[in-house]
Amino acid sequence: MDDIVSVEALKTALEEADYICSDGLAVALFLALRQHRPLFLEGEAGVGKTEIAKTLACLSGRPLIRLQCYEGLDISQAAYEWNYARQMVDIQAGNLKSDNLFTADYLIARPLLQAVNHRGKKSPVLLIDELDRADEAFEAYLLEFLSDWQITVPELGTLRAETPPIVIITSNRTREIHDALKRRCFYHWVDYPDLRTELGILAKKAPQAGPDLQQQLVRFVQKLRDENLFKAPGIAETIDWAQALVELNCVAVDPQTVESTMGVLLKYQDDIARIQGSEAARLLAEVQADMLAGTLAAR
C-alpha cells in the first residue's frame, strides 16, 4: 500500500481486485492510508462497507483482523483477557515463574490487542464492524486505541503498536456514534452507487449474466431505490439477484421472473406486497423504454 502515490492509482488497484468505488470513498481511503488514521464508513446495509476492508487486506497482503461488535461487547472479548485457568493451575502446582500472577504469559490477545501486538513487516488491517451495535461505553474505550494506537492493561502497563494498523470502522446508523470518535477518523457516507458504477460492479461480480441482462436488472434496481421502500435493495442484493437469475437460466427480466424472485431483492413483506404485480410491470416497462432510448441515442 505504501507504493500507492495517488488517488487514481488506488482506485485502479482496487478495481483490479474487483472492488469498484466512488471518488469520495477512494479519496477518504487514500487519506486514511497516507495519514495513518482510521476510516469511518457509514451507510445502509449491503453497500460494500465490510467488503472494502477485505479487499484492502487481500490487495496489500496484510492479515485481516475482524472485530464484530454486538451489545454487551466488553474488554475481555474485544481487547484482552487473562488466562484464568492457567493462572489457577500454576498457583496450585506452585509453578509461578515470579510472584506476579499478571504477566504477559497469561494474557490472551483479542482482536484489538492482536492488532497492537502484531509483529511483522506489514501492519494488519483491523475491521471494527457495525460499531453502532456495541454500547456507548465501548466507544469510549476505543478512543485511546484510535488516537494513539495503544491499549492500557492496568496490571501490566501500556502496550503500543510498532506500526499503526489500517483501521476501518463501519456503522449501519442504528444509533448515532459519538462525535469524539468520529473526529478521530476520516468520515465517509457510503451511498448507493449510480447506474454506471453499479454496472461496473456487476460486470466484475456476476460476469455470467449477459450484458443485456445486467443492464435490465441494474436499471430495475435503480428504479426500485426511488420507490420509498422501507428497505431499499443494496449492491449485495443486486449481485444476489443477478446470480439467482443466472441459476434460473433467465436471459431477460420479465414480470413473471420478478414476481418469483422478489424475495432476493426485498426483505420486508410490506415492500414486496407494494411492488408485486402492476407496480413491477410498470417499472419494467419504464426500464425497457429507457434502454430503447439509450440504444437510439447511441445510433
CB of 124 to other proteins, least distance (A): 23
What mask, x for binding other proteins by CB under 8 A, covers residues 15 to 54?
--------xx-xxx-xx--xx------x------------
Helix (H) or strand (E) holding 22: none
Q: Which is nearer to other proteins, 175 or 282 (CB)?
A: 175
Q: Does 188 bind other proteins (CB under 8 A)?
A: yes
What does the chain come to in residues?
Answer: 299
- 129-158 residues labelled b (16+ CB within 10 A) or e (exposed): bbbbbbeeebbebbeebbeebebebeebee
What mask, x for binding other proteins by CB under 8 A, covers residues 225 to 264?
---x-x----------------------------------
Q: Which of 9, 12, 16, 88 binds other proteins (CB under 8 A)?
A: 88
Beta bridge partners of 66: 127
Q: What is the DSSP string of 155-223?
A: TTEEEE-SSPPEEEEEE--SSPPPHHHHTTSEEEEEPPP-HHHHHHHHHHH-TTS-HHHHHHHHHHHHH
Q: Does 269 bind other proteins (CB under 8 A)?
A: no
Site residues (vs other proteins, CB under 8 A): 6-7, 23-24, 26-28, 30-31, 34-35, 42, 70-72, 74, 76, 82, 84, 87-88, 91, 101-102, 132, 135-137, 155, 173-176, 179, 182-183, 186-189, 228, 230, 270
